[in-house]
Amino acid sequence: MNATTAPTHFNSYNAYLRLRFGGRVAKISLDLGIPCPHRRDHPPGCVYCRPGVIVADRIGALGSITNQLNAGILAVGARYETDLFLAYFQNESASAGDLKWLLERYDEAFNHPKIVGVTISTRPDMAGDTLLDMLMARTWRKPVFLEFGLQSAHAETLARINRGHDAEIFADAVGRATARRLPVTAHAILGLPGETPEMMVETFRFLGGLPLDAVKVHHLQIYRGAALEAPWWRGEVKTFARFEDYLPVLLDCLEVLPWRIKVQRLVADAPRTHLLAPDWGLAKNDIIARVEAGFAARETRQGSRANPAHSIPRLF
Ligand code: SF4
């Protein structure tokens, strides 16, 4: 599969971005420089997480959001041969902090001439109405996209991974954002401690019933320095050792996810410097090709086992 061929067995978010913005869109990862308050308030924070994995520390060292954007555009624009960029407030919980301070930093992205849209990734319990109102008011300037972590719909799993919120809080945040016409992507992790494949599918059935715009699917990864590292060394936590072990679970989950919900990500993607397990050594295009082939072999696709009541298209 080459970079311009859209997948046909799942609803690709990248294909949507190409269509919406008229070409390949690259995301510029940004760091507000504020540690996630969840780690402070509920130590050790989410047990699979550790700082510096998702966005490298060198990005925050560039200073202002404008500096980070300019550096990212130079680096990523050449690599992806594009002039279309999304500002991606990705690091930690990117709505933590004083609202006025946050809006000033978001506005650097809204004002940047090369930025076509702004994405903010955060926790569902850090998406208050005032913040959502302020973001809605900015959608007349550029599109705004939100990302909220859920990871699992199961209360016992959320307690085990120390998420500090439940599925109802997540659903409530999705509803409040969507009511303001702010599209939401959900993050889900497959392979969390104590979960069976059936529980993972249940999480996707739950997501399918929400007015989501997209999902990002991650496989559980063990990072050096994360709270899960020690139990992993003791053999108490397992990961999908091979992609072939993960693929059937991923396909089962996507089959119950209605086609109207786009798929932004099929696997997690941490740099090898932080990664203990698993290391499948597969490129992104290989993964997409294997997912496409997996669906073709089953003669299914995303949404083929979705609840029909969940397939009603959204109004925008
Ligand atoms: S996963 Fe997100 S919410 Fe949890 S500790 Fe890490 S940054 Fe904070």
Q: Spell out the SS3 assignment of 47-103.
A: CCCCCCCCCCHHHHCCCCHHHHHHHHHHHHHHHHCCCEEEEEECCCCCCCCCHHHHH
Q: What is the pLDDT of residue 54?
A: 72
**How far apart are alpha carbons 112 and 99 in whole angstroms?**
20
Q: How far is the CA of 3 from the centre of ligand 1 (A)?
A: 31
CA of 85 to the centre of ligand 1 (A): 25
pLDDT in tens, 260-316: 999 999 999 888 889 999 999 999 999 999 999 999 999 999 999 999 999 876 544
Instruction: Pick the atom of ligand 1 nearest to 93's CA.
Output: 7
Ligand 1 mean position, distance from CA 315 (Å) = 31
- The residue contributing the CA closest to ligand 1 atom 4 is 46
123 CA closest ligand 1 atom index: 3
The token duo for 68 is 């980070």
**Range of weakest confidence among 26-40, 47-61, 295-309:** 47-61
Nearest atom in ligand 1 to the alpha carbon of residue 163 is: 4
* Gap from CA of 33 to ligand 1 centroid (Å): 14
Residue having the nearest C-alpha atom to atom 6 of ligand 1:
49
**Tokens 């809204």, residue located:** 110
The string of DSSP letters for 106-170 reads: HHHHHH-TTEEEEEEEE-GGG--HHHHHHHHHHTTTS-EEEEEEEE-S-HHHHHHTT--S-HHHH
CB 43 within 8 A of CB 3: no
Least confident stretch, 47-61, 97-111, 119-133: 47-61
CA-CA distance, 139 to 25, in Å (whole number)? 18
The residue behind tokens 């409040």 is 176
Residue nearest to atom 8 of ligand 1 (CA): 36
Closest ligand 1 atom, residue 37 Cα: 8
Ligand 1 site residues (CB inside 6 A) read 36, 38-39, 45-46, 49, 92-93, 123, 149
Supply the residue whose CA is at minimum distance from atom 7 of ligand 1: 92
State the average pLDDT over residues 236-245: 97
| Cα–ligand 1 centroid distance for 307 (angstroms) | 31
Q: What is the pLDDT of residue 316?
A: 41
Helix (H), strand (E) at residue 177: helix 167-179
Ligand 1 atom with the smallest distance to the CA of 49 is 6
Residue 314: per-residue pLDDT: 55
CATH fold of 13-303: pyruvate-formate lyase- activating enzyme (3.80.30)
Burial class of residue 49 (count of CB atoms within 10 Å of its CB; 0-12, 13-18, 19+): buried
